[in-house]
Structure 1
């Protein structure tokens, strides 16, 4: 045993040392995941063990990031992989577990469902070029700051809330506290995976780095898909046949690719995707815990940490349902459970405490760029989920009577009793119902407060509706346990059709969000993204200048300038130009533009292409702009006809400030 352990520990470092010079570091995360799966014992199927392993690794990575931030090696893939493999071997030795993988036969239907959703979700991204992929979330603005965190964590090698001064060269002073204290568990994980994907110890060029991040964003959505489908399968229970499961998983899959969850991907919210995935896994494990108490405790604890480090808005839900499981499991009887509780409480508090520093007092009242959730569809889903988790109450008395009768027989008969297994399934429905009620109460509570305070529900209410949707999709697994065999099939088809034909806040917009994405009708801002990529290719580090995009239409110019600033590490210079470029504002005059150039601490580089493009006005209080109907794209010539065009204004400034203004006549990239 000692000899085998010594050999394994040696290989834990020799393998990463060999893969790095060969450019094969991308196999190391797969090896770490496989090793984590191999030492699981609490799950019956391979999917159970994979999901538990993913949850454990993500939570552990969030915690490990605290140490990596302080150690000198930072994000070098050899050091990270060697440490992770060593930890796995020591855990296996301590628990006396030899690597073991269960069969996959019971996971076949789940694998088919996940593969189907993955293909449908990947196609819209695979057929687009990088500009098209980046353009989808760039329309929502937040992706620029997500990239900024991903990039600067890669540059500095750790969490920025632990050393915010490292972020100062990249962001305006006014935004330093907010960005530095934003939850960074996922950004840190992305930075680590980027190193493994490229077998590098350093950041890539901006265009390469953002390409990697976009595929990691898509991968996070696919993990959410796997988590929800697996959770529905697990809540259905071991007695659900494939014939009963098929329509349920088909309905869940349809909702994932047609409904609101796919908009979280297309609008570019990676943290929320990860938080929702953790919430889905937690919901399933609280409803039907793993068979090993130690593994269950570790997994729940690490899920709480993962949610804290990614999307702390969901932490109250996670804490409540985790507390329910802890009470039902009577953890207070074990001394080690108290140690775990104190440790997890301290680690899980990091997310809310840092978020509190990053937030204003009215943070939950702020609006944002997330798509408004389809209200009728969500109400229908919650109603279906409620029926799924509550319908077995009608037969609960009969089941209890059967169990009581069987208790008078031998233990062997009791252990093999189908009625006893059914009773356990009923208990899981109770917990799933509690989880659904908790998520619903959080959404209703916040929505009510927002209506009373500002008159309408906004942004964070929709985020909590996303959580409610995910919990409800997990709870739909209960449909597979209906007394009538074809009930789930009869429900799934019309509901999926209902989701297919319309979308929008009140289900009045033709075609579902997922269909719009697949057909290319949801484009985002691909021209802006291609402009940003063009600027970043020409000047990867910004060229000691603020690069201002004036090549086309107003939204294209604003988003392109924002995207380029993030890619080049020059976001610090962007806010000063944002008000002038932002199409939804009052605009700016030639005097305002002149003042920005005069006060700029760095060179100003204007990118020009279309001579008809304009944005300036003569009078900001009474701007003379073309009338545009709501929902229609803004014209390229959006400025006041009496004000200089973009070409004219840039040339005037170049003549006034010949050593400070540069003009670049660029040709935008084609798709």
Structure 2
């Protein structure tokens, strides 16, 4: 045993050294996952072990990031893989566990459902070029700051809330505290995976780096789909056959790709996707715990850390349902459980504490760019999940369904409570209410597994019409033809591809910004604003963007020639204007009474959006170049075509 362990420890370092030399580091995360699966014993099927192992690895990576931030090796793939494999070898030696093939029962049906979701979700990303892929989340704006965190963590090698000064050169002073303290567990994981994907110890060029991030965003959504489908199957129970599971998993899969969960992907919220995936796995494990208490405790603990380090808004839900399991398992009787509780409490507190430092007193009342959740469809989904838990009185005899019902009620009460608070304070529910509805939807999809105990005909009679209903309609009140997922797959939900291509063009020409703030004036207003934001993030020049945001933002009052002149005069760096369309305009003569073209709601803004009396974009840029010849640069660029 000692000899085998010594050989395994040697291989734990020789393999990463070899893969790095031949640029095959992308195999190492798969090897680590396979090793984590091999030491699992609490799950019955292969899917059980894969999902649990992935959840454990993500939580462990969030914790490991605290140490990596302080060690000199930073994000080198050989060092990270060597440490991970070493830990797995020592864990296997300590527990005496050798690789063991789990049962494949029911995994085939789950695999088909996951493959179906993956195929539909991948279509709009595989079919588009990089500009088209990036344009989808760029319309939601937040992706620029997510890239900023991912990029700077890659540059500095660790969490920025531990050393916020490292972020100062990249962000405005007014936003330093907020961005530095944003939960960074997923950004850190992305930065690490980027190293393995490219077999590199350093950041890539902006276009390559953002391409990797977009695919990691898509991968996070696919992991969410796997987590939800697995959770629904697990809550269904071990006794339900494929015939009963088929309509339930079909309905869950349809909701994932047609309904609101896919909008979290298209709008570019990677942290929320990861938090939802952790919540789904936790919901399943609270309803049906693993057969090994130690593995169950470790997994629940690491899921709490994962939620804390990604989306702390969901942490109250995670803490409440985890406490339910702890009480049912009578953990208070075990001394080691108290030690674990203290350690997990300290680690899980990091997310809320840093988020509190990054938030204002009215954070929960802020609006955002998330799509409004389909209210009637959500009510229908929750009702179906409740029927699956409560009908025929089975919960009285099933701790599994009682726990699932408790989880559903917890998520529902949280959403209702925040909605009531927002209505009482500002008169309507906004942004974070929809985020909690996303959590409620995911929990309800997991709890739908309870429907599998009904007769096959009854399950199919419910699942098929509901799935068709989701297919043909969508929107806030389920009145808009075509569901969000269908719009995404068919290309009707385009995002801002032209803006993304402009941002990529600017970043390719000047990867580090070229010592200037780069301002897009080439086309229509939203395109210019989003492209300038995207380029600022890609070039590491976001520090200079906020001052230009007010002038470029189409939803504001606009700006005059004097406002534009003032921005140039006060700019601490050179101003580089990108120009193309002679008709493009944004300036007005009077910001209190802007003379702009009338545009119907929902229609794109015209390229000539400014006051006809005010200078066009090219005219204004030329006037400023003549007035500030050493400070203003003009680039006549040709926008990239798809």
Coarse TM-score class (shorter-chain normalised): over 0.9
Normalised TM-score (structure 1):
0.95
Distance 1:396 1:236 in 2: 13
Shift of 1:187: 0.1
* Residue 423 of structure 2 is aligned to residue 451 of structure 1: yes
Alignment of 1:178-577 (within 5 A): 178-393=178-393, 395=394, 423=397, 426-482=398-454, 484-577=455-548
* Residue 603 of structure 2 is aligned to residue 632 of structure 1: yes
CA contact (8 A) 1:37 1:101 kept: no
Shift of 1:106: 2.6
* Residue 623 of structure 2 is aligned to residue 652 of structure 1: yes
CA offset digits 1:485-525 (Å, max 9, x no partner): 31111101110111111111111111100010011110000
Name the counterpart of 1:3: 3
Distance 1:487 1:324 in 2: 32
Shift of 1:392: 4.1
Distance 2:379 2:469 in 1: 13
Distance 2:151 2:87 in 1: 28
CA offset digits 1:582-615 (Å, max 9, x no partner): 0000000000101111111111000000000000
Distance 1:137 1:18 in 2: 37
Distance 1:235 1:106 in 2: 13
Name the counterpart of 1:145: 145
Distance 2:337 2:202 in 1: 40
CA contact (8 A) 1:207 1:533 kept: yes
CA contact (8 A) 1:376 1:507 kept: yes
Shift of 1:103: 3.3
CA contact (8 A) 1:74 1:158 kept: yes
Distance 1:396 1:282, change over 3 A: closer
Moved over 6 A (4+): none
Distance 2:173 2:421 in 1: 32
CA contact (8 A) 1:502 1:510 kept: yes
Distance 1:340 1:224 in 2: 27
* Residue 167 of structure 2 is aligned to residue 167 of structure 1: yes
Alignment of 1:587-666 (within 5 A): 587-666=558-637
Shift of 1:396: 6.3
Distance 2:427 2:438 in 1: 21
Distance 1:453 1:281 in 2: 34
Distance 1:391 1:163 in 2: 53
CA contact (8 A) 2:529 2:549 kept: yes
Bigger Cα displacement from structure 2, 179-188 vs 92-101? 92-101
CA contact (8 A) 1:557 1:581 kept: yes
Report the 3-state secondary structure (helix = DSSP H, G, I; strand = E; otherwise coil) of the residue aligned with 2:456: coil
CA contact (8 A) 2:182 2:355 kept: yes
CA contact (8 A) 1:254 1:496 kept: yes
CA offset digits 1:108-157 (Å, max 9, x no partner): 00000000110010011000000000001101100000000000000000
Distance 1:357 1:503 in 2: 37
Name the counterpart of 1:417: none
Normalised TM-score (structure 2):
0.99
CA contact (8 A) 2:304 2:315 kept: yes
Distance 1:180 1:545 in 2: 24
Shift of 1:104: 2.2
Q: How many residues align?
A: 642
Name the counterpart of 1:130: 130
CA contact (8 A) 2:321 2:407 kept: yes
Distance 2:481 2:545 in 1: 37
Shift of 1:105: 3.9
CA contact (8 A) 1:304 1:318 kept: yes
Shift of 1:101: 2.4
CA contact (8 A) 2:389 2:395 kept: no
Report the 3-state secondary structure (helix = DSSP H, G, I; strand = E; otherwise coil) of the residue aligned with 1:628: coil
Name the counterpart of 1:63: 63
Shift of 1:265: 0.1
Report the 3-state secondary structure (helix = DSSP H, G, I; strand = E; otherwise coil) of the residue aligned with 2:106: helix
Report the 3-state secondary structure (helix = DSSP H, G, I; strand = E; otherwise coil) of the residue aligned with 1:486: helix
Name the counterpart of 1:579: 550
Distance 1:546 1:137 in 2: 23
CA contact (8 A) 2:522 2:579 kept: yes
Name the counterpart of 1:13: 13
Distance 1:396 1:171 in 2: 53
Query: Highest Rg: 1 or 2?
Result: 1
Report the 3-state secondary structure (helix = DSSP H, G, I; strand = E; otherwise coil) of the residue aligned with 1:658: coil
Report the 3-state secondary structure (helix = DSSP H, G, I; strand = E; otherwise coil) of the residue aligned with 1:607: strand
Distance 2:381 2:459 in 1: 13
CA contact (8 A) 2:32 2:84 kept: yes
CA contact (8 A) 2:395 2:401 kept: no
Name the counterpart of 1:79: 79
Distance 1:396 1:390, change over 3 A: closer
Distance 1:467 1:88 in 2: 32
CA contact (8 A) 2:44 2:103 kept: no
Distance 2:178 2:463 in 1: 44
